[in-house]
Amino acid sequence: MPDCDISVGIASPGDWPEPHERLEKTVREAARAALAHAGLPGPGAWEVCIMLGGDDQVRALNAQWRGKDAPTNVLSFPAARDMPAPPGETRPLGDLVLAGPVVRAEAGAAGVPLREHLAGLTVHGILHLLGYDHLKERERREMEEAERRIMARLGLGDPYAGYEER
């Protein structure tokens, strides 16, 4: 599998109460597992930037890029696949932004640890960067099955357990 540099930053530290080092480790492990499962496109080195933000940051991005004036759990911004990189340099795969208060509220409502829900959303976002989607029924099933397998490899629970079949 090609190499991938994963950068994690916390833009809104107060919205992420657990030790930040543990959260960053969780995000990196989940991203690497998703990348290992799905594979990176083509040869060469890639980079992914993941930001742990707050509701205000994610709301603004969601409004600007999706026309939805509300925070959401995770936003994925895939980079153009044909974006060239100088020889020996990494190519951007894309960026993820997660909203701490939304992620915490969802984890609490589902009765799962914050880090487990954060891992599931990171996997979900990475799969979007790799071209997975869930707009059509067949795509949704494929994406959810990939998420379940990746989470199981991480020793974590089914991110869709407890949800009614759609």
pLDDT in tens, 134-157: 989 999 999 999 999 999 999 999
What are the tens digits of pLDDT across the range 76-135?
999 987 777 777 778 889 999 999 999 999 999 999 999 999 999 999 999 999 999 998
Here the CATH number for the domain that contains residue 146 is 3.40.390.30
Whether 33 is covered by a domain: the verdict is yes
Specify if 165 maps to a domain: no
The string of DSSP codes covering 46-112 is EEEEEEEE-HHHHHHHHHHHHS--S--SEEEEEPPTT----TT--EEEEEEEEEHHHHHHHHHHHT-
Question: Quick check: is 163 in a domain?
Answer: no
Q: Which domain holds residue 46?
A: 4-153
pLDDT at 58: 94
Q: Look at residue 77 in the predicted model and tell me its pLDDT.
A: 96
What was the pLDDT predicted at 161?
82
Quick one: pLDDT at residue 166? 34
Domain count of the fold of the chain: 1
Judge whether 159 lies within some domain.
no
